[in-house]
Amino acid sequence: DPVEVAGVFAACLAYFAGTALYVKTMIRERGDPAYRWWSVGYHAAVLPLAAWLSPALGVLFGWLLVRAWWLPTRALTPKHVGMIEIANSALLLVGIALTWA
């Protein structure tokens, strides 16, 4: 169904666009408050769309907003950031499966 495919595409696009901002905040632009607030702002803007698509995606994107706000205050290594993002990608798959399966 094209509508389902569009929803899955939108969820993945929203997730990976936010992840790019977040990872840049955590690694290359660590300590730059502007990048952190762009990341938080993006995640806050996308959260209502995700929640509209499904409660499961709303919960996931709620966590991603918390992650964008809270984790930059922690001393995480790039390895830790990557491991967290692997787990978040798996949660995205779960959210998609719960929404469109």
Helices (H) and strands (E) in the chain, counts: 4, 0
CA distance 42 to 21: 8
pLDDT tens digits, one per residue of 39-84: 999 999 999 999 999 999 999 999 999 999 999 999 999 999 999 9
Share of the chain above pLDDT 90, in %: 95
